[in-house]
Structure 1
Amino acid sequence: MSRNLVVFLFMFIVSYVACTSEQELIRKLLQYYEPSVRPVLQAQAVVTVSFRMEITQLFELEEKTQILTSNVRIEQKWIDENLAWNQSEHDGIRGIRLPSHRIWLPDSYIYNAAFDLSSQAPTQGVVNGPYVMVYHTGEVVFPVLMKLRTTCKVNIQYFPFDRQICGLKFASWIYDISLINYELVANSNDSYQSESIRNSGWAILDVKQGLVWR
């Protein structure tokens, strides 16, 4: 009985210390943090956002409404210079999970979103999710799963053997390229050949990515 009790108390104490260290770190990082301010120490510095998107499921392309419905996985990464810490000063903590609303996020927006006018959601076109992972280097990883409804101009001249070209257009809603710069991370086309994507009579033949400067 006493041996079991000692082990239990030891595990409890270790867990308590680790939890306290993480709480103290989060409190220190966010005490004077302002989510509306870009995460740079120099006001004119550019925030570089790594942007990766993968289509995980293709639901349908409605010829009548010209709307494409799909599931996508989006991952954005950037450096927040206000969220870096020295591991040796915080019990070797490498990373922490934070609610996304507590920190600055890129205002990435789906420009060709097909809005559902019956929805009460005010941010249908915003790329958003509940949590971010922050590492001691200041790197922030923001993974998001989304169901998209986007516009796609359909040409049915060769129906039912037609091929359509649909675009997914993302950009910052407020910032221009002098303040935020996107870098696209490409996916292998092999990832678009699964049965979950070959749906509703459609198959993805090719995916091309590119940047349009404005």
Structure 2
Amino acid sequence: MYDLSILLLLVIYTFGFLSASIEENRLLRDLRENYDSVERPVENHKEAVQVKVQVLLQQILEVVLLLFKITNYIKMYSEWKDYKMKWDPAEYGGILDLHLPSSGDGALWKPDILLFNSAEDTFDNSFPVNFVVYYTGDILFVPPGIVKSSCNIDITWFPFDEQICCLRYGSWSYATSQLDLHVNSANLSDKDHMDLTYYLENSEWELLGTPADRLLKPFLNDSFTELHFRLHIRRKKVYYFMNWIIPSIIISLNNLLGFMLPSECGEKITLRKFLNSCTLNLGIFFSFSIIILGCSVMMTILVVDIHFRMPDVYEMSPWVRKTFLEWLPWALLMKRPGHQFRMPKEGCNSYEQSYLLPDEKRASLDAIINGDTLRR
């Protein structure tokens, strides 16, 4: 008796599936009768097909500055009515909707909406999904895709810049009198005309807003509708502070700290060579730092060469003596051991002699070079 009950339930269950399959097959056969996928779904040929478009932004994948290109993962919702796709659910076993292919045999009419500023090699990279057809004649088409589009990028204020990238959608062949596009902003805010329900934050860019506009573009003797969905994004500063600004400040400070090393230290030149080898891959900013590093290397070599010159081999030239032992010390308020600087004579453009006798000056200079003044 128990086995008989199970067998009866299986028969009823299977019969229900077969009945539903029969009803759906009959409905498909009736809907496809006299249906042409090339014909626009309007009863009056003078009317335009009204299509509502909404973009669901899921993620900003990449912004390529050099190629002026942005890559997004989106889903584009398109809704319109097809008067030949209506039926009474009571006559077909309570069926409320159908899923029909968007290409091949049995496909329905669909608007030829394309991304005009596409940067794809194949131009259209959306995935061909099925139509969702409701008994009221409403048709929903939601193809997902990784979309690459061109973007006018301005990096004047890099890395504190903001960009506005536009997705330009429109019909490729139908004029506004035949196909009219509208932005479907139902249940969306005034600032965001894209659906951000499933949006994933980008690690480099912050999304500020997604406004949209409907424009009419004249072409030949007719006009075409375009929908512009704009992405207002701002670069996140923390990323560039950690990877660009802070390293650049450290490198620049190291350029100055190299001059604070004593001339006797053999690592004075080694520091410059190390910095040169480490900054070649840090970008355009560091190219200027490398130029400064090169200049500092030459200055360091000059300082070290002057420091280690012996007074009995090299004789100081008069202009060097005048510049570094008289004019600069007086201007910098520096004192030389055993010497008192004086102001220029009134009515005279030159300074007084900073020494009394040549022998006394040479002895004082030798004492400074040999470090004898430190032991006094």
User: Do they fold alike, i.e. is TM over 0.5?
Assistant: yes
Q: 1:208 aligns with which of 183, 191, 211?
A: 211
Correspondences of 1:89-128 after superposition (within 5 Å)? 89-101=91-103, 102-116=107-121, 121=122, 124-125=123-124
The runs of 5 or more residues in structure 2 that have no matched partner are: 218-376
Q: Deviations for 1:173-194, whole angstroms, at most 9, x for unmatched residues?
A: 1101101111211244496497
**Deviation at 1:128?**
5.7
Q: Deviations for 1:56-90, whole angstroms, at most 9, x for unmatched residues?
A: 00011100001100001111110001111122221
- 1:162 maps to amino acid: D
- Alpha-carbon contact 1:72-1:145 (below 8 Å) kept: yes
CA distance in 1, matches of 2:86, 2:178: 20
Q: 1:204 to 1:192 in 2, by over 3 A?
A: farther
**Deviation at 1:125?**
2.6
**Deviation at 1:126?**
6.8
**Deviation at 1:115?**
2.4
More moved, 190-199 vs 161-170 = 190-199
Larger Rg: 2
- 1:89 maps to amino acid: E
Q: Deviations for 1:63-120, whole angstroms, at most 9, x for unmatched residues?
A: 000110000111111000111112222122111111112100011010000022xxxx
Correspondences of 1:29-68 after superposition (within 5 Å)? 29-68=31-70
Q: 1:18 to 1:192 in 2, by over 3 A?
A: closer
Partner of 1:14: 16
TM-score calculated relative to the size of structure 1: 0.91
| 1:29 counterpart SS class | helix
The runs of 5 or more residues in structure 1 that have no matched partner are: none
Correspondences of 1:191-202 after superposition (within 5 Å)? 192=196, 196-199=200-203, 201-202=204-205
CA distance in 2, matches of 1:105, 1:195: 27
**Deviation at 1:198?**
2.1
CA distance in 2, matches of 1:72, 1:26: 31
Partner of 1:156: 155
CA distance in 1, matches of 2:173, 2:199: 38
- Alpha-carbon contact 1:109-1:127 (below 8 Å) kept: no
| 1:213 counterpart SS class | strand
| 1:76 counterpart SS class | strand
Partner of 1:180: 179
- Alpha-carbon contact 1:57-1:196 (below 8 Å) kept: yes
- Alpha-carbon contact 2:58-2:199 (below 8 Å) kept: no
Q: 1:212 to 1:75 in 2, by over 3 A?
A: same
- 1:30 maps to amino acid: R
Q: 2:84 aligns with which of 76, 82, 85?
A: 82
Partner of 2:356: none
- Alpha-carbon contact 1:100-1:129 (below 8 Å) kept: yes
CA distance in 1, matches of 2:47, 2:118: 30
- 2:85 maps to amino acid: L
More moved, 81-90 vs 149-158 = 81-90
Partner of 2:279: none
CA distance in 1, matches of 2:90, 2:198: 45
CA distance in 2, matches of 1:56, 1:191: 8
Bigger proportion of residues as helix: 2
CA distance in 1, matches of 2:15, 2:197: 50
- 2:71 maps to amino acid: T
| 1:160 counterpart SS class | coil
- Alpha-carbon contact 1:108-1:127 (below 8 Å) kept: no
> Which of structure 1's runs of 4+ aligned residues deviate more than 3 A?
187-195
| 1:155 counterpart SS class | coil
The number of residues matched between the two structures is 207
- 2:114 maps to amino acid: Y
